[in-house]
C-alpha cells in the first residue's frame, strides 16, 4: 500500500459508491461531515489520495493567517482540499485545475452535495496548459498534483504572474523524491520565506508526510 500511495496508483475515482457512502454519513450542506466521510472512506473502504486531516490542519492554519481571497488549486482529485478551503473561507473563490477524466464529475457531485459549488470553478486541463490562460493572480496556490511537475509548474506560475505579491504557495508531499528539486529551489530563493511542516502520513502513521508553505515577498 505504501508504494501504491507514493506512486498514486489504485486510488478510487468511482463516483457512485463514494457518493452513496458520503450521503449515508453526512447531511447535504454539512461540509465537515462530508470531509470526515471522505477521510474514513479513504482509510476503511478504498485507498484515496486526498490531503487527509494532518495536512488539512496545516492548510487551515495558513488560511487563517493569510486569508486569501483568490485561490488556485492544482490537482483536485475528489475535491477534499477544495472543500476544506471553501469551508474555512466562505468568501474566497477557488479555481481548481485537474486533468483526469473522472475527477471533475466526482468533485462536482461532492461540491453540489456540500452546497459549495458556487464557490469553486473546475478547469479540466493539464496545469501547464491552463496556467498561461488563467485570468488573474492568486493569493494562494495549492500544488497537489504530479510531484515531478512542481518545479516546472511553479516556474510557469511566476513567469505568467499568477502568484500575487505576498501570496502563498503550499505544496503537499514535498518529502517525496520527485519534489526534491522544487523544494531545494524554493528554499534557495531570497524572495520566498519557506517553512516545511512534517506530520504523520494519513492512514499510515508510522510514516511521515510533509507540506511546504512559501510566502512570496519579492
Ligand X SMILES: C[S@@+](CC[C@H](N)C(=O)[O-])C[C@H]1O[C@@H](n2cnc3c(N)ncnc32)[C@H](O)[C@@H]1O
Binding region for ligand X (CB under 6 A): 49-51, 74-81, 97-100, 103, 126-127, 144-146, 149
Residue 60 CB, nearest distance to ligand X (Å)? 13
CB of 35 to ligand X, least distance (A): 10
CB-based contacts of 159: which residues, under 8 Å, 6+ apart? none
CA distance 42 to 49: 8
Nearest to ligand X of 95, 103 (CB atom): 103
**CB-wise, 61 or 217, nearer to ligand X?**
61
70 vs 202, beta carbon nearer ligand X? 202
159 or 188: CB nearest ligand X: 159
**Grid cell digits, residue 20:** 452513496
| Antiparallel, parallel or unpaired: β 120-124 and 93-98 | parallel
State in angstroms the smallest separation of the CB of 164 from ligand X: 21
For residue 160, give the C-alpha cell.
505568467
Name residue 98's beta-bridge partners.
124
Cα separation, 72 vs 145, whole angstroms: 12
Minimum CB distance to ligand X, residue 218 (Å): 26
Q: Which residue is nearest to ligand X (CB)?
A: 75
* CA–CA gap between residue 120 and residue 52 (Å, rounded): 20
Amino acid at each position: 500500500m505504501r508504494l501504491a500511495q507514493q506512486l498514486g496508483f489504485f486510488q478510487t475515482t468511482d463516483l457512485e459508491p463514494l457518493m452513496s457512502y458520503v450521503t449515508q454519513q453526512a447531511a447535504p450542506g454539512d461540509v465537515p461531515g462530508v470531509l470526515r466521510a471522505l477521510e474514513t472512506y479513504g482509510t476503511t473502504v478504498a485507498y484515496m489520495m486526498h490531503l487527509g486531516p494532518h495536512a488539512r490542519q496545516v492548510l487551515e492554519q495558513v488560511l487563517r493567517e493569510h486569508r486569501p481571497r483568490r485561490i488556485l488549486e492544482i490537482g483536485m482529485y475528489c475535491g477534499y482540499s477544495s472543500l476544506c478551503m471553501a469551508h474555512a473561507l466562505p468568501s474566497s473563490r477557488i479555481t481548481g485545475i485537474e486533468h483526469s477524466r473522472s475527477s471533475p464529475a466526482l468533485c462536482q457531485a461532492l461540491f453540489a452535495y456540500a452546497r459549495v459549488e458556487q464557490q469553486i470553478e473546475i478547469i479540466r486541463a493539464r496545469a501547464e496548459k491552463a496556467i498561461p490562460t488563467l485570468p488573474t493572480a492568486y493569493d494562494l496556490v495549492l500544488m497537489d498534483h504530479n510531484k515531478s511537475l512542481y518545479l516546472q509548474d511553479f516556474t510557469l506560475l511566476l513567469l505568467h504572474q499568477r502568484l500575487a505579491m505576498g501570496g502563498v504557495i503550499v505544496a503537499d508531499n514535498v518529502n517525496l523524491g520527485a519534489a526534491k528539486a522544487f523544494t531545494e529551489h524554493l528554499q534557495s530563493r531570497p524572495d520566498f520565506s519557506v517553512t516545511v511542516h512534517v506530520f504523520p502520513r494519513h492512514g499510515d502513521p508510522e510514516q511521515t508526510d510533509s507540506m511546504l508553505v512559501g510566502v512570496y515577498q519579492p
